[in-house]
Chain A
């Protein structure tokens, strides 16, 4: 298991989990907000729709579905 931070809360996930899977496991429904403020989340889960973008270790617009969790990773998803 790995320990990551989702909006400053500790979450334990299996070693091969993607960030998208980890966020869904942690109960995060809205991965990001659209221009008009609507919640958005993973749709295609294969790196095409760009809807699952989150901030990882301070870097915005990272694709949650295409990124594997790493020990100590900090994820921000409003």
Chain B
């Protein structure tokens, strides 16, 4: 005779794994189902940048909470998770962006505003003529597929590889849908649509770049609604490899490389870091973010015992840990660490 678990999570990506970890810590018996190996979807396709973003107060609250949780977890993560507090350096290309950086600084208590000279001391390889930047030292990077597998191991969660076709038929005390951009195939009414991204990774060029570098214009790409956009976003891996992003693309379900868009993305990166044009790229790939109309995730009870944790777009690795706290608080009827209302799915059905 088999007993249904306390919690059944559909989706073994970083969000599902974080929920499993948190619920197991609270004593729940957790099982996880995925059609792919753990961390094999968007979790493996993304950069694993653990970053605080401030486009709106809800995004700021969830990302601040989550980066703090990652920092608490850092010492326990295995070496292969490659956790590294390299910080984020937001680059201001001109005076207007530098003023934006100055305004942003208020929201980041530990940050340092850099003038042009300080910027080039921090990152000598950047092209000349930039205005400065904002250094956020607490941001970090992680190799998310390994982190996801570790979280599942810690949860002692049984992970079953199969495809779920009817999520409402699953038997458990609570069922969590954490399937990222493919949530719509299970729950067609969800306001989630795939937003394709490209990444490239280079060979090893140790110490060429020291911080995750993001142009301040990135937020226009991430939070705008353009059908296609690119922004300079470069991550030094602990191995010395450089992860080059980013692109955003709606209305494309094809996983193949879009060569013209990849060219735009790389050209943008070369504009900021000219030396990159001489580096060897080893691999390019794509993935699908789960985008919502208001750029905030869907976290909370959908109906009955069915919960949702998706729609994190490009911030899912960062906000997975905060998401898990919110979902766990709701399932157990506890007080959540931050106000949960902005993320509740019913905001689209009111």
Kindly supply a per-residue 1/0 record for chain A positions 56-78, scoring 1 wherever the CB is within 8 Å of any chain B CB and 0 otherwise.
Answer: 00011100000000000000000
Is B280 touching A61 in the complex (CB atoms < 8 A)? Answer: yes
Task: List the B residue with the shortest CB-CB distance to A53.
Answer: B203
Does A35 belong to the interface (CB within 8 Å)?
Answer: yes
Chain B contact residues, majority secondary structure: loop
Does B283 belong to the interface (CB within 8 Å)?
Answer: no
Residues on B with beta carbons closer than 8 Å to the beta carbon of A35: 239
Kindly supply a per-residue 1/0 record for chain B positions 202-219, scoring 1 wherever the CB is within 8 Å of any chain A CB and 0 otherwise.
Answer: 011100000000000000
Q: How many residues of A are in contact with the other chain, CB < 8 A?
A: 5
Please report which residues of chain B, range 190-209, place their CB below 8 angstroms from some CB of chain A when the two chains form the complex.
203-205
Does B347 belong to the interface (CB within 8 Å)?
Answer: no
Is A61 touching B239 in the complex (CB atoms < 8 A)? Answer: no
Does B278 belong to the interface (CB within 8 Å)?
Answer: yes
Residues on A with beta carbons closer than 8 Å to the beta carbon of B280: 61
Kindly supply a per-residue 1/0 record for chain A positions 35-71, scoring 1 wherever the CB is within 8 Å of any chain B CB and 0 otherwise.
Answer: 1000000000000000001000001110000000000
Bound together, the chains give a CA A61 to CA B280 distance in angstroms of 8
Bound together, the chains give a CA A5 to CA B279 distance in angstroms of 23
Please report which residues of chain B, range 226-246, place their CB below 8 angstroms from some CB of chain A when the two chains form the complex.
239
Is A59 touching B278 in the complex (CB atoms < 8 A)? Answer: yes
User: Which B residues are closer than 8 A to A by beta carbons?
Assistant: 203-205, 239, 278-280
Beyond A53-B203, A61-B204, A61-B279, 8 additional pairs, beta carbon < 8 A: A35-B239, A59-B278, A60-B203, A60-B204, A60-B205, A61-B203, A61-B205, A61-B280
